Structure 1
């Protein structure tokens, strides 16, 4: 066992550093090609950036993961590495095309379903029971496939939707992967811990460029679909862990589903909130706007992209730690009640202000008018004072 853990720690360092270096040194090459071919992301009315910016940063995630999976296959128990590759390839192709030529939401949805099928085919991800969560124990196969596919689709699209400002998707992804790395290391699921570390190495290398003012690049749908897919797979595996391994985790067995939701609180809450607003306004759930939580922090609270991303990422981490502490002694019913209260409070904080796009533009124009009037008053006062 000691030899196995030493081997894992050595591999963990190599995979993390290797992924970081591969991503760090190849992204400038991607930026060069994107700029040369003029495949830039053009800002529009909803964009949070003002100038044309290279996209396709997610390409680096794809080839880094594929390269890593070749070596990671010696750590899996059910040939999981082979089942990752088709899903990653499908989403890479679709994400790349969407970054170059915008695809319809239904085309992307069909591709996501196809990618998910490969994961659900592997017995390693089969959820046999919820171990008493809300009184649910045994889960029939048809329910597992239906709920599992829906859960993965939700996570992939929720993560894709938070990629709206510099750093946010990478920061939130890093927090989620750190949490899952810890869970899978403690439960001795070393293959998944190494997958987390590999992707985290890529995200951290990418983050430096995403925050950069001179070598900026976006991950695009190519990246967000890949990262969202990996996170959805990790969540499915977390819920499929054998009951015996939960003895090593600091929370009750029945509370695992709530812990999974708390880990994904940022993308899930933001998606639920935005979809509710759009449907209430009789618009499609995937219709674009600036009602996302990160837009509110920037447009109304005046935060920079980096500040908003770090605040949201810190909130995600603190929220999970709080729920893990609760889950160590509280029952699942109490945790569900706490989660619902948290959603209501967060929803109220953002709902009490009118954040529709039309009102946002109107308030911004009004603020500019007020500022202009103030400037004129000050200028007149200064001129009058000079005359006197």
Structure 2
């Protein structure tokens, strides 16, 4: 009976039900896994020790990435059996490489060079064997199709940029998880509408895993951090979704995102990318130091310094990024250069707005006291 059911079942005939099942499975597996991870981490003293840069004051487990990884792998294994796609196996391979690299970094210390090599290898697996790459600049600065090897090199750069930009925003409770959740929701909708069921399944599974993680990440008693394990595999998936979306749009002239996909992808990833650009500028040109030297100049640090709590910081940033994406979807009628130019302007203004409001509020508060 089960054999007959499996032989006659086609996920593409019931995509919505299929995605709901993938979401529920990912959530349940992750939700049931995190308590075990917390118990083992506490028993074996696998905790993050607060230092001068830490935004927390107590020892906290940093192995949340294990639960996310386990949840995703189980879902993709089942999906692979049903959909039989090569891309899913390669994604699992890339995730596994980054999982073990991140786990070693969370438990001991891993050099930046080894992490970089691992990221390159994981990204190259997908780029070369699935030919999923950014084939051109969609007329940005009048540049269209790129030569094959230039396309591979640029796609590889985008992978490394997104993975590490995402890692840099993992600084306050819930921020990295909520940003990834928001981005994954948009990609799930885009992939579902385009009929890319395999991609939609991975993104909806990530949503389920992240929701289970956020419950523990926001907890005051049983808190757990994503760690390098989580930030690398989640960043890798966000990069994969971004490049897959751009690649699909650029190769389909009938797609409504044929020319707009780079701007939409930039809008979804605006916070991690603009924060990385900003922090590198400050370190290189203002502080005159290495761009890879850690400090407290990230946007989320500025929110905390301005008086925002962790939760307020997270939800303010997520809300702003949501506005940015909604605006981007309403600018599809413009040419791509105009979309990106305006995105930089209104995105920067929106992120400056909370600080302006706080400053004005504090000034008025002082006047009232006087």
Aligned to 2:304: 298
Question: Which stretch shows the higher mean deviation, 334-343 or 190-199?
Answer: 334-343
Aligned to 1:257: 262
Instruction: Report the secondary structure of 2:144's partner residue.
Output: strand
1:332 and 2:328 matched: no
Q: Is the 8 A contact 1:78 1:123 kept in 2?
A: no
Q: Is the 8 A contact 2:324 2:347 kept in 1?
A: no
**Correspondent of 2:327 among 322, 326, 330:** 322
Within-5 A mapping of 1:338-353: 338-342=342-346, 345=349
Q: Is the 8 A contact 2:11 2:18 kept in 1?
A: no
Cα 1:202–1:133, aligned 2, differ >3 Å: closer, same or farther? same
Q: Is the 8 A contact 1:78 1:122 kept in 2?
A: no
Cα 1:147–1:351, aligned 2, differ >3 Å: closer, same or farther? farther
1:272 and 2:277 matched: yes
Question: Structure 2 length normalisation: TM-score?
Answer: 0.88
Q: Provide, for residues 329-383 of structure 1, a one-character-per-residue CA deviation record: whole Å limited to 9, x for no partner.
A: 111121132133246646877999xxxxxxxxxxxxxxxxxxxxxxxxxxxxxxx
Post-superposition offset of 1:153: 0.1
Aligned to 2:159: 152
Post-superposition offset of 1:78: 5.2
Aligned to 1:240: 247
Instruction: Report the secondary structure of 2:214's partner residue.
Output: helix
Instruction: Report the secondary structure of 2:328's partner residue.
Output: helix
Rounded Cα–Cα distance in structure 2 between residues aligned with 1:26 and 1:348: 39
1:21 and 2:15 matched: no
Within-5 A mapping of 1:216-235: 216-235=223-242
Aligned to 1:313: 318
Aligned to 1:207: 214
Rounded Cα–Cα distance in structure 1 between residues aligned with 2:105 and 2:31: 24
Rounded Cα–Cα distance in structure 2 between residues aligned with 1:151 and 1:114: 14
**Correspondent of 1:67 among 63, 74, 85:** 74
Post-superposition offset of 1:247: 4.4
Rounded Cα–Cα distance in structure 1 between residues aligned with 2:73 and 2:337: 41
Cα 1:39–1:243, aligned 2, differ >3 Å: closer, same or farther? closer
Rounded Cα–Cα distance in structure 2 between residues aligned with 1:335 and 1:315: 17
Cα 1:240–1:220, aligned 2, differ >3 Å: closer, same or farther? same
Cα 1:229–1:336, aligned 2, differ >3 Å: closer, same or farther? same
Q: Provide, for residues 287-319 of structure 1, a one-character-per-residue CA deviation record: whole Å limited to 9, x for no partner.
A: 11111111111122x111111111111111110
Where do 5+ consecutive residues of structure 2 fail to align? 1-9, 357-370
Rounded Cα–Cα distance in structure 2 between residues aligned with 1:254 and 1:314: 26
Q: Is the 8 A contact 1:133 1:254 kept in 2?
A: no
Post-superposition offset of 1:235: 0.7
Question: Which stretch shows the higher mean deviation, 68-77 or 29-38?
Answer: 68-77
Cα 1:109–1:350, aligned 2, differ >3 Å: closer, same or farther? farther
Instruction: Report the secondary structure of 1:240's partner residue.
Output: helix
Q: Is the 8 A contact 1:273 1:347 kept in 2?
A: no
Question: Structure 1 length normalisation: TM-score?
Answer: 0.84
Q: Provide, for residues 265-296 of structure 1, a one-character-per-residue CA deviation record: whole Å limited to 9, x for no partner.
A: 01001111111111121222121111111111
Q: Is the 8 A contact 2:64 2:213 kept in 1?
A: yes
Q: Is the 8 A contact 1:75 1:190 kept in 2?
A: no
Aligned to 1:376: none
Cα 1:26–1:347, aligned 2, differ >3 Å: closer, same or farther? closer
Aligned to 1:366: none
Within-5 A mapping of 1:86-125: 86-125=93-132
1:33 and 2:34 matched: no
Instruction: Report the secondary structure of 1:214's partner residue.
Output: coil
Post-superposition offset of 1:244: 7.1
Aligned to 2:368: none
Where do 5+ consecutive residues of structure 1 fail to align? 353-388
Post-superposition offset of 1:123: 3.1
**Aligned positions, number:** 346
1:179 and 2:183 matched: no
**Correspondent of 1:285 among 284, 288, 291:** 291
